[in-house]
Amino acid sequence: MKAAWYSRNGEAQDVIQVGDLPTPSPQAGEVLVRLATSGVNPSDVKSRRARPVNDPLIVPHSDGAGVIEAVGTGVPTSRVGERVWLWNGQWQRPMGTCAQYIALPAAQAVALPVGTDFAAGACMGIPGLTAVQAVILAERLSGDLRGQTVLVTGASSAVGHYITQMVTLVGGRVIGTVGSEAKAAHARAAGMQEAIFYKTESVPERVKAVTQGRGADVIIDMDFSTTAGWASEGALAPHGQVVCYGSNALEVPLPFRPWLYQSMGVKFFLVYSLTPTDRLAAVARLSSLLANKQLQHSIGAQFTLDQVALAHRTVEAGQTVGNVVIEL
């Protein structure tokens, strides 16, 4: 099979190779998927640059979509021919989705509804599941989001775009941080009601201005290193909740007194390691949204397998609005 791989850390153009690898065979409990697309996410490029390479080679990317071609023992043969999207394709294993085939546990191949194409399917594993789990946790902590104000940091990002839609669908009011007018337009089309240009505006002051001084009821956050300060400066209402799935800094000072005195809370989660119960709920909710055609999908750039290094550089540049997908 054709595949891309690397054997050491470094810049994409220096370490990624494209060539032939053996086609895997599905083991017991696994399915073999003929991949049509592979999604490229920031975590994939960060792994290539810095995560220790402990295997002879790494086929990158955790997200993808395609068709089941074969099954291992214990998996119903009726799944052969099923269109699927994948999660955790390259999580704690060397063989990811940037190849024509992948064999992985059957539960990690989820039925892709009719009407959802393979490019969109390649956006479900990390962007889609992160978004839906963030909204589920926000509802768990803050109750029904209908009528509540939710600050979405990075509202035009791959994850933020889905979060904005999901919060809007349940009746929440989305305030979003964005970096440009183009990104603001993208987020508004997804349901964002107020844009905050974080590069030129004080986010806490703007949030207070559009919430009559109260702050947001919930913050769904991609960078706790910044949001920890914003929340303590009035961006989060008393008794408000932060749901966080990322941070640009690994060590984050927390202004404890305002967090304590305003009884604010924070819940962190990592989409790769959801509990089985949370994973089932998130997959079911996302599948329902797809089946009912309730989500907009934004593919910002598409590349061929031979252009995988360029795809990685595009993600690293951070200027593309929408998801980056490789067609296989």
Three-class SS of 169-216: HCCCEEEEEECCHHHHHHHHHCCCCEEEECCCCCHHHHHHHHCCCCCE
Considering the domain architecture, whether residues 189 and 312 belong to the same structural domain is answered as no
Domain that holds residue 90: 2-123+297-327
The verdict on residue 144 lying in a domain is: yes
* Residue 165 sits in the same domain as residue 195: yes
- For position 218, which CATH number holds? 3.90.180.10
Tokens of 301: 């750039």
pTM of the model: 0.96
- Do 186 and 93 lie in one domain? The reply is no
Q: Is 116 left (phi over 0), alpha (psi -120 to 50) or beta?
A: beta
Tens place of pLDDT for every residue, the chain, 328 residues?
A: 999 999 999 999 999 999 999 999 999 999 999 999 999 999 999 999 999 999 999 999 999 999 999 999 999 999 999 999 999 999 999 999 999 999 999 999 999 999 999 999 999 999 999 999 999 999 999 999 999 999 999 999 999 999 999 999 999 999 999 999 999 999 999 999 999 999 999 999 999 999 999 999 999 999 999 999 999 999 999 999 999 999 999 999 999 999 999 999 999 999 999 999 999 999 999 999 999 999 999 999 999 999 999 999 999 998 899 999 999 9
For 103: left if phi > 0, alpha if psi spans -120 to 50, otherwise beta; the answer is: beta
Q: What are phi and psi of 212, to 5 degrees?
A: 55, 40
- Residue 34 host element (H or E): strand 30-40
- Please tell me whether residues 265 and 133 are part of one structural domain: yes
Number of domains in the chain: 2
Task: Please report, to the nearest 10 degrees, the dihedral formed by the alpha carbons of residues 324, 309, 179, 129 taken in order.
Answer: 40
